[in-house]
Amino acid sequence: MFLDEIKRLNLSFNLQRENDRNVYNIIKSKRQKTAYIIKAVLAYEGVTQEEKELKRIKRALREVLQDMNLMVDKDCNFTEETQIPDEVFQIFDSI
């Protein structure tokens, strides 16, 4: 292993701020701090990506419903008596 393959990152925590203090104490208590931080960051980024993908799907679905002149209220009740075409369900099946 070459030294240029290992990078060090310095973090600073303001212990007067509760979130900083809590995170500092969590990291400090771990034996394998680097492995813990790697897992935590990757897990956070995975959730963030899933949220972005869900928002993208919701936006696309809203556009499809608007194009079909279907309106849905917050309780997912259709305001028109129009049935959802099978094509919309095929979109879900393909996801």
Contact between residue 32 and residue 43 where contact means Cβ atoms under 8 Å apart:
no
Highest mean pLDDT among 48-57, 64-73, 79-88: 48-57
According to the model, what pLDDT value does residue 95 have? 67
Query: What single letter denotes the amino acid at residue 87?
Result: E
Q: Which secondary-structure segment (H or E) carries 19? A: helix 18-29
What residue segments make up the domains of the chain, in order of their start? Answer: 14-94
Q: Is it the case that residue 18 has pLDDT exceeding 60? A: yes
d(CA 48, CA 75) in angstroms, rounded, equals: 25
- pLDDT top residue among 51 and 39: 39
- pLDDT top residue among 94 and 10: 10
Lowest-pLDDT choice from 22-26, 35-39, 75-79: 75-79
The C-alpha torsion from 19 through 25 and 28 to 30, rounded to 10°, is -100
